[in-house]
Structure 1
Amino acid sequence: MQTATLGQLVVSAQGLGCMSMSEHYGPRDWDRSIATVHQALDLGVTLLDTADIYGAGHNEVLLGRAIAGHRDRVVVSTKFGVDRSAGDHRRRVRGEPDYVRRSCEASLLRLGVDQIDLYYLHRPPQDVDLAETVGAMAELVTAGKVRYLGLSEVDADQLRRAHAVHPITAVQSEYSLWSREVEALAPAMAELGAGLVAYSPLGRGLLAGEVDPSTLGDNDSRRGHPRFQGENAVNNQRLAAAVSALAGERGITGAQLSLAWVHARNRGLGIPVVPIPGTSSPEHVAANVAASDVQLDDEVLAQLEPLADRVSGDRYGALQNTGRP
């Protein structure tokens, strides 16, 4: 596994998103999830991503158990800020200093670590100014509880305002063949020395060609996403099939082609881009890691380029637009 540098933080060129091990994407299997994390570590993955809201803390506890005895091999990243305590329909994004401190202490306890390597604000706060929240996060760095700071789903102005309070190491945002809005932020990130951590690089599984939107379970949050509904889903499945066909011509899977495209964007955007595909399958981890070695020529990159303009549906529905997963 090659490495990438986010600010001053060295991580594996590809990470592992752990959210689906605890909720949103179907049934949970603790032992299989632990095996998935261990498989990732064995393949050289160091960046492991979670958040305090994934499974209402379940995901941090699971990850903490998985990395016990392996702390020196892991870059632990987690997020805070989305308060779901009043229910998903009343979720809000908080950032008051006392909440920041309490959230960090709770995450440290659940993860079983003394220090969080990369601590993200999950979304810009609704209750206080962003600078106040980042100031409280900076105090956590001074106290030795956090090493580096990150933001998730912000615009250029928010990134610059936050960076003026404390250096921002990484921005985490959805980024894939057909979710490219964050590219507008790349110049500001390059200017400030921040890297991009790309979540959902496989279009929440649809680009992998292994998800049929019509068969998603009742507890699968993708049922509420516009791209998985009705005519949007039909059209997007056609796009996924086109990706799989291109991949097949090169002896790889649609998932590997989609991940290789994200890796290739390091050159196009001029910033480090580290995808964190999520899975709870050891087999999928191995296949995903293999994508980091796939080199795409100009011909296939040109064939993939138009897909962002052909995707149907917004990234999120009404519920997900506040503290969206």
Structure 2
Amino acid sequence: MRLNRLGSSELQVSELGLGCMSLRSDEKEATKIIHKALDKGVTLIDTADLYDFGKNEKLVGKALKGKREQCVLATKVGNRWDHVEEGWEWAPSKDYIKTAVKHSLQRLGTDYIDLYQLHGGTINDPIDEIIEAFEDLKAEGLIREYGISSIRPNVIKEYLKRSNIVSIMMQYSLLDRRPEEWLNMIQAHGVSVIARGPLAKGNLTDRIFTGKASEKGFLDYVPSEINDLMIKVKDISDGRMLSHLALRYPLHHPAVATTIPGASSVEQVDDNTEASNVDLSDEEISLFKQWTKQTYYDKHRD
């Protein structure tokens, strides 16, 4: 598994990571999935305090017991639920971030977090205060680096300008090429992209040709458009799995350090990580871009 430097940091992340939101609540199964990922060379393990209201972090922490040093452990903060009966609210204050990190550390069973990410963000947030919180946590040794998880252009621009973030997590796939507008700028600031949702909820896999295919489409693609696209991809696949080609696509741009497909089974981890043995040619990337839509974020702009 190839490793890439995350932004300007010393963190080295596998080009294929593991997004833990898809983990089931069964502790044994979750542990098997995470251990399989580590065995296959995955180093980036990504969770969030919001996932299953803290239970996901606990699963990850238990699975990493005795294996903590094998991974770059990432989690997220900003959504608060401990004071409401249902749901959660956006609460990115300095005090809350510095309190929440202690709870995440406890649930994860570790004394430091490699990558602490703001789980969202708006232009109306107290951005300087948020940055101060992350910088304080770095100085205290509770986190090694910090980043944001955001698709909002105006938010991204502010953090690139005002903070020392090393990463931006963005949904990015063949069916969602909106981040491409910003990849060169992000790279120019020495920041890396973590691509989430690279398989577009399974629409970019062989499942598209089965009875399990989604009837909802994806973003501005209707099911027939996705089917037509995947027929074209299959025609040039030369025996490669469609999911592997889809997983490789976000990695074609040097700004993208890693992509983090989820997995709900050991078999999915095996399948996904085999994409590390697949390459895309420049010609194939060009074809993929011809066959898909270059869309843009129309909200949250300056």
Query: Which band: TM-score by shorter chain?
Result: 0.7 to 0.9
Task: Find the counterpart in structure 1 of residue 117 from structure 2.
Answer: 120
Q: Deviations over 1:195-233 (max 9, x none)?
A: 0100001112111132689869xxxxx99x76289x823
The whole-number CA distance in structure 1 between the counterparts of 2:56 and 2:209 is 25
CA RMSD of aligned residues (A): 2.9
Retained in 2: the 8 A contact 1:94–1:126? no
For residue 257 of structure 1, the aligned residue among 229, 245, 267 is 245
Retained in 2: the 8 A contact 1:172–1:196? yes
The whole-number CA distance in structure 2 between the counterparts of 1:18 and 1:265 is 24
Structure with greater helix share of residues: 1
Retained in 1: the 8 A contact 2:199–2:243? yes
Task: Find the counterpart in structure 2 of residue 274 from structure 1.
Answer: 258
Q: Deviations over 1:76-122 (max 9, x none)?
A: 0001112354534xx43221111111211111111001000000001
Confirm or deny that 1:170 pairs with 2:167. yes
For the structure 1 residues 305 and 126, does the alpha-carbon distance in structure 2 shift closer, same or farther, using more than 3 Å as the test? closer
Q: What is the CA-CA distance between 1:284 and the residue it aligns to?
A: 1.7
The whole-number CA distance in structure 1 between the counterparts of 2:103 and 2:208 is 35
Task: Find the counterpart in structure 1 of residue 15 from structure 2.
Answer: 13
Confirm or deny that 1:233 pairs with 2:233. no
Retained in 2: the 8 A contact 1:201–1:259? yes
Secondary structure of 1:56's match?
helix
The whole-number CA distance in structure 2 between the counterparts of 1:125 and 1:265 is 26
Q: What is the CA-CA distance between 1:241 and the residue it aligns to?
A: 4.2
For the structure 1 residues 96 and 48, does the alpha-carbon distance in structure 2 shift closer, same or farther, using more than 3 Å as the test? same
The whole-number CA distance in structure 1 between the counterparts of 2:28 and 2:34 is 10
Retained in 1: the 8 A contact 2:195–2:256? no
Provide the aligned length of Structure 1 versus Structure 2: 294
Q: After superposition, where does 1:97-176 map in structure 2 within 5 Å? A: 97-125=94-122, 128-176=125-173
Task: Find the counterpart in structure 2 of residue 284 from structure 1.
Answer: 268
Q: What is the CA-CA distance between 1:254 and the residue it aligns to?
A: 0.9
Secondary structure of 2:45's match?
strand
Q: What is the CA-CA distance between 1:33 and the residue it aligns to?
A: 2.0
For the structure 1 residues 205 and 63, does the alpha-carbon distance in structure 2 shift closer, same or farther, using more than 3 Å as the test? same
Per mean C-alpha deviation after superposition, the further-off stretch among 183-192 and 172-181 is: 183-192
Task: Find the counterpart in structure 2 of residue 4 from structure 1.
Answer: 4
* Amino acid of the structure 2 residue aligned with 1:4: N
Q: After superposition, where does 1:17-166 map in structure 2 within 5 Å? A: 17-22=19-24, 28-84=25-81, 85=84, 87-88=86-87, 91-125=88-122, 128-166=125-163
* Amino acid of the structure 2 residue aligned with 1:148: E
Retained in 1: the 8 A contact 2:244–2:274? yes
The whole-number CA distance in structure 1 between the counterparts of 2:263 and 2:224 is 24
What is the TM-score with the length of structure 2 in the denominator? Answer: 0.87
Secondary structure of 1:121's match?
strand
Retained in 2: the 8 A contact 1:20–1:280? yes
Retained in 2: the 8 A contact 1:156–1:188? no
Secondary structure of 2:159's match?
helix
Task: Find the counterpart in structure 2 of residue 219 from structure 1.
Answer: none
Q: Percent sequence identity over matched residues?
A: 31
Q: Which runs of 5+ in 2 are unaligned?
A: none
The whole-number CA distance in structure 2 between the counterparts of 1:305 and 1:62 is 38
Q: Which runs of 5+ in 1 are unaligned?
A: 23-27, 217-221, 316-320
Secondary structure of 1:203's match?
coil
Secondary structure of 1:255's match?
helix
The whole-number CA distance in structure 1 between the counterparts of 2:212 and 2:66 is 39
Q: After superposition, where does 1:307-322 map in structure 2 within 5 Å? A: 307-309=291-293
Task: Find the counterpart in structure 2 of residue 25 from structure 1.
Answer: none
Retained in 2: the 8 A contact 1:93–1:126? no
Retained in 1: the 8 A contact 2:138–2:144? yes
Secondary structure of 1:288's match?
helix
For the structure 1 residues 297 and 31, does the alpha-carbon distance in structure 2 shift closer, same or farther, using more than 3 Å as the test? same
For the structure 1 residues 209 and 183, does the alpha-carbon distance in structure 2 shift closer, same or farther, using more than 3 Å as the test? same
For the structure 1 residues 69 and 19, does the alpha-carbon distance in structure 2 shift closer, same or farther, using more than 3 Å as the test? same
The whole-number CA distance in structure 2 between the counterparts of 1:160 and 1:98 is 24
